[in-house]
Structures are given as C-alpha cells and as structure tokens.
Amino acid sequence: MSDQEKVHALYQELVTHFLDPLLNGGVAQCTRALPPAALDHFALARPVETTVEGSILEALARLSSELAPVELVELAERGLMATLMAVHNLYWLTDPELDRAFARGSREPVREWVFELIQAIGMPRTRSEALGRHVVLDRALGLEREDTVVKNWAYTYRFYGRPPPKNVVAMPTLRFVRQDKTQRGLLELALEGTPEIDLETPLRALVTRSPITQILHHDLSPNLRFGQATLSVLSDDTLRAGIAQELVKRGTGQVAQPFGHALRVLSAEDPSPQHLFVAIALIADMQILEVMDERAGHRPRSEPAVGDEELFAAILPALFEIRGPLQGLVALNPGDAAELRQRAAKLAEQAGDDAVEMARAILERAQPLKESA
C-alpha cells in the first residue's frame, strides 16, 4: 500500500467511525492519532461509501439549520477538517491506555499536532463554513466516554472507553460479576488532564477558532472578546438572530457578565462603527427575544461604578433614548414595542443612570452595516 493509500485509509476510518456517529448519535471511535501533514489530503478527500457521505452531509445541514438556514455544508472544507482532526486528537490524548511505558512518549508530539491543526483553521468566509465547524466542535464537546468497572469474586477490571470483553462478564451469576458504568465528557476529561500533559489549553484554543462555538460556549473563554472573526460571523443578521435565540434559551443571567465585559473591552479598543454595531445588535437581539418569550429576565448585579452586568442591561433602555438608525434594532409592532418599553424602563432603573449614560455613549459611536457603503 502506497503512502497516499495509507493516508486515505486513515481518512476513511475517521469519517466512518468517528465523524458519522458523532453527527448521527452513534458510538464514535477514535482512530490512530492524526498528523497535520494529512490535512491537505483530508481537506480534499471524499468518503468511498456514498451512504456515509450522504449521512454526514445530511447531518451537517440539519444540525446547522437549527441555528440558521443553510442548504449545504461542505465536508471537504479545510477549516472543518482541521477542527475535526484537532478534536479527534484531543479525545485520543484522554485515553488512559497511553499511560503504558511505551505509549506515554507519544502524548506530547500529538499535543503539538493539535496546536498545529488549530493554527491551520482560518477565519470562516461564509455562513456555511462557520456553521459546519461549530456543529463538529459542539457535537464533540457533548460526547461522553463510557468507562466500565467490572468486579467479580476475585478481580476488579477497568475499561476506559471500551466495552468489557465477553469472557470478563461471562457467567455473571456464578462468578458474582457486577458492572458499574460512568460517563465523562471531553470538557471534564480535558480539564482534568494528566500529571504529564495539559489538555485544557489546547481545548480552549480550539474553541476560539470557531466563533459560533466560542459565543455559545462562552464559559470556556473566561475573558470573552468580540474579535474580528466573531464580529464577521455576527454580521450575518439571520445567523446572529439564531445565536441570540440559543443564548436566550439558557437565560440572560448566564450571559450578562461575559457579554457586557466583551462590549466594554471592544468599545475601549476604538473599533470601527460597524463592528461596534454588530456587538450591540447581538445584545439587543437577546434582550428583545427575552421579552418576546415572556421570560422573567435577569436583574443585573450591582457593582461599584458601572459593572459588566449593568452595562449589558443598560443597552436596551439606551436604544430608546437615542435617535438615528440604531432605533431600527427596537422597531417592533405597537403591542410588542409597548411591552419592550416597559422592560427597558425596568432595566434602566436596575442598571442605574451611569450605566445608561455609558451605554448611550457607546451606541452613539456605532453605525449599521448598510450605512457603511
């Protein structure tokens, strides 16, 4: 078998036994560790089995459309494939079997491969690219490894991410066999790491390369920023609305502090008026959706000066106080607009005059994208 044939065989293992079940709810199985040198081939390859390719493409489009409409998400996309290879290698590194003497030395080189693959993930250029990378990473973050402890009258066996052999669990009554199963997710495994290797750093770095994932899993970015890639993705009105809706489902109490802080940092960096508008629009979308969904809302925590949660809360009342194109963000039908004004008045009282004044000053520097031409 030639080198190219070996690389393609590895690709086939990855898409058939890891990616397809990852997207469609099966049991995802790691292959061998994936070297960055294989990315060029993987990014252009296609599964040999058309049923596997169809299953993957259908799942990518279906899962992506839960956030925003998209007709096709390409599997042969370099950023998606680099994301897939990196997260696969992270899972591979959590395998306790690597603690064996002759396997332990492979951990650090594979960890370096993860960083190389992360560096190969460029900014998404389209809605499809942003959604595809997010779907792969988001599903991977939700994977759980099933560990089994088998005890009988004489021994205790441990199987990490692998089913016990039949001979170990045979004749359960006669041999007093008992099985205890536990599930552990990638985040838990990565945060735990091992004494020899840090997996938390590469995992957090990988999340920053997928703007949608970083926004929706903002807890993995303790100092969330509205970077260029994030703002580019949020410039898609339909995609931004889908992201805002997903965040509101979890309650604005979880997002007020990190998104208020991200807006404060962005405004201090003297961004373009259009980028500032995009960040404001996301926060406005969340607060409007919260009212439309008849949610109880979140009372901002009172802090010295103007806290991050207070700034977040002050965006809505400030939008009703300014004049100009940003008022379009709160342009609703009369019935909904009246309810939104009531919520804005409540938030203004809770956030305080200083917060509303700061929010108004930020809003006055923003300019909608359609006005930039």
Give the SS3 label for residue 360: helix
> Cα–Cα distances in Å, from 71 out to 78, 130, 233, 238?
19, 14, 17, 14
Main-chain phi, psi angles of 84, to 5 degrees:
-60, -45
H helices then E strands: how many in the chain?
A: 19, 3
- Who contacts 177 (Cβ-Cβ below 8 Å, separation ≥6)? 150, 151, 152, 168, 169, 170, 171
Contact 330, 337 (CB under 8 A): yes
**CA of residue 92 relative to chain centroid, distance:** 20
Residue 231 makes CB contacts below 8 A (sequence gap 6+) with: 275, 278, 279
At residue 297, does pLDDT exceed 80? no
pTM of the model: 0.86
Beta bridge partners of 146: 183
pLDDT tops 90 at residue 111: yes
Higher-confidence position of 148 and 119:
119
Query: Burial code of 94-120, b = ≥16 C-beta within 10 A, e = fewer?
Result: bbeebeeeeeeeebeebbebbeebbeb
Half-sphere exposure of 2 (CA within 13 A, CB side): 3
CA-to-CA dists, residue 153 to 73, 100, 164, 166, 182, angstroms: 53, 27, 16, 17, 21
Residue 105: pLDDT band (50, 70, 90) is low
Question: pLDDT band for position 370 (50/70/90)?
Answer: low
Average pLDDT score, the chain: 87
Write the DSSP symbol of residue 18: I
Report pLDDT digits (tens) over 161-205.
677 777 766 767 666 677 777 777 777 877 776 667 888 899 999
The candidate with the shortest Cα–Cα distance to 220, out of 251, 197, 187, is: 187
> Collapsing DSSP states into helix, strand and coil, what is residue 182?
strand
Would you place residue 115 in the very low, low, confident or very high pLDDT band (cuts 50, 70, 90)? very high
Percent of the chain residues past pLDDT 90, beyond the cut: 55
* Pairwise CA distance, residues 229 & 211, whole Å: 6
